[in-house]
Chains A and B, each alone.
Chain A
Amino acid sequence: MQSLEAVISLMFFLSISSVLLSVQPHRHIDDSLYRLQLAEDAWRVLYLRGDFQDFDEGKRETLETDMADIGEKTSLCLFLDGTRFTNCRGGDDRHEIFISIRRTVIFRGKPEALSFSLGK
């Protein structure tokens, strides 16, 4: 009799355990597509403002002013890797990058593939 009870108890314990283990922690809304769209927005806005025309070190002030404007309105940090253009100083360790896209621009007269990142 005792072994029967033990078996029944074990079965219920296992069933409850399996239910509890299968409970997923509260999932957040998947906004990966939205993040990608925000990165493309920021890039597109800089492009529309003409920041990538005759693009070289001389464009730093114009580009960083527009980056700062976007950053001020959205609280986002923008990084153009390879050129060190950004609106948030301090390096990668101080900022959390949450999306990067690759874009090709004419930089110093040569086509260059740059990584454009958004972070906080």
Chain B
Amino acid sequence: MQNRYKGFASFDALFCLVPILLMLSLLMQASSSLSNQAQEQSHSQQIFDKLVSVADYTVKIGAVVRYGNETKIRYPNWIDADALSEKYVEDLRTRADLEELSIGFDPPSSPSAFCIYRIVVVGDQKTITKMYVCGG
């Protein structure tokens, strides 16, 4: 009689084990997927923050119009288009540790991972325009 009960117990445990293993594998898949999602999110946020910093530096210091021989007063948001040279962009790209970076007044021709814009003025007429900062 006792043996019969033991048999039932192990059979029962076997049936109990299968769903447990299934649930465990599901849990592991879910946690792995969540972890990947969090990593991607964090990476995207990092790239976006870098582009925001690059754009802010450019419109406030990097490529602004300066007047005066000694004082060199800066005019944030008034962009000196000549200052946006390839060398300037390449230096910024290296400092920001980005794989690609482009800064210009025309919408990007190639699809970049991220693109933001800033509102600026250019030229003596202070024409209102958008300055695009794209990269990834």
Interface residues in B4-32 by Cβ distance below 8 A to A read 8-9, 12, 16, 20, 23, 26-27, 30-31
When distances are taken between beta carbons in the complex, the residues of chain B under 8 Å from A15 are 27
Pick the residue among A12, A27, A41, A45 that contacts B41 (CB under 8 A).
A27
| Contact in complex: A34, B52 (CB < 8 Å) | yes
When distances are taken between beta carbons in the complex, the residues of chain B under 8 Å from A70 are 119, 128
| Contact in complex: A1, B130 (CB < 8 Å) | no
Docked Cα-Cα span, A89 to B20, in Å, equals: 61
DSSP majority for the A interface?
A: helix
Over the window 44-59 of chain A, the binary record of Cβ atoms lying under 8 Å from chain B Cβ atoms (1 yes, 0 no) is 1100110000000000
Interface residues in B90-114 by Cβ distance below 8 A to A read none
Query: Nearest chain-B residue to A46 (Cβ)?
Result: B128
When distances are taken between beta carbons in the complex, the residues of chain A under 8 Å from B116 are 34
A33 within 8 A of B: yes
Pick the residue among A20, A31, A34, A45 that contacts B77 (CB under 8 A).
A45
Over the window 1-39 of chain A, the binary record of Cβ atoms lying under 8 Å from chain B Cβ atoms (1 yes, 0 no) is 100010010001001100110010011011101100110
Pick the residue among B12, B30, B41, B117 that contacts A19 (CB under 8 A).
B30
Query: Nearest chain-A residue to B8 (Cβ)?
Result: A1
| Contact in complex: A45, B121 (CB < 8 Å) | yes
Pick the residue among A5, A20, A23, A31 that contacts B12 (CB under 8 A).
A5
Query: Nearest chain-A residue to B131 (Cβ)?
Result: A41
| Contact in complex: A41, B120 (CB < 8 Å) | yes
| Contact in complex: B52, A37 (CB < 8 Å) | yes
| Contact in complex: A45, B48 (CB < 8 Å) | no
Task: List A residues at the B interface (Cβ < 8 Å).
Answer: 1, 5, 8, 12, 15-16, 19-20, 23, 26-27, 29-31, 33-34, 37-38, 41-42, 44-45, 48-49, 66, 69-70, 73-74
